[in-house]
Amino acid sequence: MLLCLHGIGSSSAAFAPQLAALSDTFRVVAWDAPGYAKSADPQGPLTMNDYADAAADVIRARGGRAHVLGVSWGGVIALRLAARHPDLVESLMVLDSTPGSGTDPDKAAGMRARADELARLGPEAFAAARAPRLVSADAPPQLVERVTATMAASVRLPGYGHAAEAMAATDLRGELHRITAPTLVLCGDKDHVTGPDSSQVLAGGLHKTAYVIVKDAGHLANQEQPERVNAWLLSHLHIATDHRTPHQKG
C-alpha cells in the first residue's frame, strides 16, 4: 500500500496525479487529515505525534505496512510516523518538506499566525492569498486555480489551527538518525516556501536516502511536474520492493 499525506493547506485531492499514475501498480490511499475536507473535526488539539499515530491507524486498518508519501506538512507527519512506528513504514517519499517550523522562532511564530489569518479572511480569501505562492511563476493558470480551489475546500478551523500549532512545535532534526526506512527526498528547484535547503537538512540527517531536485517546479512539485515526480516515485518504489517476494508487493 502507498499512503499519501497532504500538505497543511490541502487535502487528498492534491494527489490526483499520483492516484492516476500509480494505482495500476500499488494500492494508493490518500487521506484527508483530521479536521480537513471530508474528515471529521478533532475533539481537541492534536500534536505531531497524534497525526503520526492517526496515520499509523490508517495503515493498520489496511494491512499493516505501507510506503508513505508526504508533501510538506505531510512529509513531517511521515517522518514522525517512521520514527514512532518503524514496523509500519516500508519506505518514505518526502516532497518539498522540512524538519518542522520549530527549528526557528520566526518560522514558528509565522506558522502560529496562520490560524488567525484564516479566521479573519475565511477559506476562500485565505486560499486566494496563499495558494499562488505554492507553485512556480511559470505554472499554468489552470493549476493555480485548482490549487486555490482545493485549499478553499479543504481548510477550516479548528483543524487548520491544530496543524499549524503542531508544525510550530516540531523540530525533527534530533530524530532523523533514528529513521531506518529508505527515503526519497524531492524538492522543486523553484520552491520558495520550504525550499531546497530544508530538504537538504532532511536528506543529510537520514541514513538511507536519495535526494532529487525537480526542475521547473515550485512547492507543489507533485502537481506542477507530475510526470517527473511520478517517475522518481515509481523508481524508488520498485527499488524498495525488490527485496520482497511477489505476493508481498504493493
pLDDT in tens, 123-180: 999 999 999 999 999 999 999 999 999 999 999 999 999 999 999 999 999 999 999 9
pLDDT digits (tens, 9 = 90+) for 177-217: 999 999 999 999 999 999 999 999 999 999 899 999 999 99
pLDDT for 64-78, tens place per residue? 899 999 999 999 999
pLDDT at 246: 41
CA distance 69 to 195: 18
Cell of residue 226, nine digits: 507530475
Q: How confident is the model at residue 63 (pLDDT cuts 50, 70, 90)?
A: confident
How would you class 85 by CB atoms within 10 Å of its CB: exposed for 0-12, middle for 13-18, buried for 19 or more?
middle
What is d(CA 193, CA 96) in angstroms, rounded to the nearest whole number? 8
- End-to-end distance of the chain based on CA atoms, in angstroms? 5
Provide the b/e sequence for 43-68 (b: ≥16 CB within 10 Å). Answer: eeebebebbbbbbbebbeeeeebbbb
Q: Is the pLDDT of residue 33 over 50?
A: yes
pLDDT of residue 243: 54
Q: Are the CB atoms for 18 and 227 separated by under 8 Å?
A: no
- Starting at the edge strand found earlier in the chain, the sheet holding 66-71 runs 28-30, 2-5, 66-71, 89-95, 183-188, 209-214
Instruction: Give residue 244's pLDDT.
Output: 53
pLDDT for 156 equals: 98
pLDDT digits (tens, 9 = 90+) for 93-118: 999 999 999 999 999 999 999 999 99
What is the number of alpha carbons within 13 Å of residue 19 lying toward its C-beta?
11
CA distances from 29 to 23, 111, 156 (A): 9, 28, 22
Query: Can you tell me the distance from the alpha carbon of 33 to that of 48, in angstroms, rounded to the nearest whole number?
Result: 12
